[in-house]
Amino acid sequence: MPNDIKIPAVGESITEVQISEWLKSEGDSVKQDEPIAVIDSEKTTFDLPAPQAGRLAKILHKAGDTVKIGEVVAQIETNGEAEKFGPKKTVEKSEVKDTEKSKKKIEEPAKKEKPKADEKPTESAGVEKEISTDDSEKKSLPGKAEPESKSISKTETEKPAVKSVESLQPKQKVSSEREEEIVPMTMLRRTVAKHLVEAQQMMAMLTTFNEVDMSAVQSLRKEHQEKFEQRYQVKLGLMSFFVKAAIDALKQFPQLNAEIRGNDIVYRNYFDIGVAIASERGLVVPVLRNAERSSFAELDKAIGDFARRAKEGKLKPDELEGGTFTITNGGAFGSLLSTPIINPPQTGILGMHTIQERPVAAQGQIVIRPMMYLALTYDHRIVDGREAVLFLRRIKDIIEAPARMFLEI
């Protein structure tokens, strides 16, 4: 009896998912825990594994279908039962052999037939016999060759058969300059779009900007990169500095680490920092839990792991839930300046941008420095402009003088 493959629970608030792609077809053999399908939820994309080794007997829902948690989507035959599928391939092979034999018989050339009594072989042995194109009206006279224009070789008579095979091949579609392609949105993309619209409608979002000199951070990374990597087996990244700086600023301005619940403001004494990561399947925001307790090395390892698993579609739903503040780095793609949108129910998001060498004034002189624009979007319902500007100013001060975060000054 085939065993059912059901959609597993992927989060408390998720009741249905979408089948994005089947990685296996009916009749394919599978190993235990081998991915057989890609599943999209409103928060992440994950692989559906085979519960045991065997053969995929039946697929009950096609790609693109929306199914509920716990619903049966396929059936699998275990190793003992999968032997029923064995003769299928044997029959197919024997059928192929029989087909090949019959094909050879059909294609037997007629040259083995003996020539008629009134016909003479051509003078040159080994030369293909010439056939008159007008054989019904004229016969070849002995000792005379037919004109070349009226005779063709036997190999030439086989050319029409080749053409007929070619005519069976599918013709290439001529592309038009005004084509349209309809692709359904994934569940993750629909959820992101819904949340972004809700954020615009529900919040009084405002963005303030500043710029920061990245010289100190770049010097620290260059000076300590080799020893840091040897000790912790991870590179000293840029994002970890901003996570540390954001936590320091959030401690001074708790409104940006709070949320609105009805008529109440909920302040938090912990810091779960979301890190926005762009993947081929959509934007995801995994959360660094209790980031205030993590070292630089722990932050860099966690962020690197998030980025890798986001590309592979292996982030867990609970890793994407919650978050008290978000950081996004559009500079990784070359963005010079942008206004990020808050991830509800949070009240703030910090946008990093590309580092660009620009002329700036320093101590009465024009110097070239690696500069980055920073953007803070905040919910003006509970965060005033003063707090937002000072929050961003605090991050600027820490990044330009990283020792501040350790001395707490």
CB 44 within 8 A of CB 284: yes
Neighbouring C-beta atoms of residue 325, cutoff 10 Å: 26
| CA nearest neighbour of 315 among 325, 303, 306 | 306
Backbone angles phi, psi at 190, to 5 degrees: -65, -40
CB contact at 8 A, 353 and 335: yes
| Residue 384 designated active-site | yes
Tokens of 311: 């590309």
Q: Give the three-state DSSP class for 392.
A: helix
The sign of the dihedral angle between the CA atoms of 187, 189, 194, 198 is positive
Closest CA to 382 of 267, 269, 270, 265: 265
- Structure tokens, 36: 């057989």
- Identity of residue 20: S
255 within 8 A of 383, measured Cβ to Cβ:
yes
CA dihedral 337, 295, 283, 9 (to 10 degrees): -160
Token pair for residue 291?
């980031």
Listed in sequence order, the residues at least 6 apart from 399 whose beta carbon sits closer than 8 Å to its beta carbon are 212, 213, 214, 216, 217, 241, 242, 245
The CA–CA distances, whole Å, from 48 to 18, 20, 76, 187, 224 equal 12, 11, 13, 16, 42
Sign of CA dihedral 14, 18, 24, 27: positive
Query: CA 4, 5, 11 angle in degrees (round to 5)?
Result: 135
Q: List helix spans (H) across 74-158.
A: 86-106, 154-157
Question: Does the annotation mark 380 as catalytic?
Answer: yes
- 346 in Cβ contact with 322 (< 8 Å): no
Q: What type of residue sits at position 395?
A: I
The beta strands (E) that lie in 165-258 are given as: 205-213
Task: State the catalytic residue, choosing from 61, 305, 318, 380.
Answer: 380
Catalytic residues: 380, 384
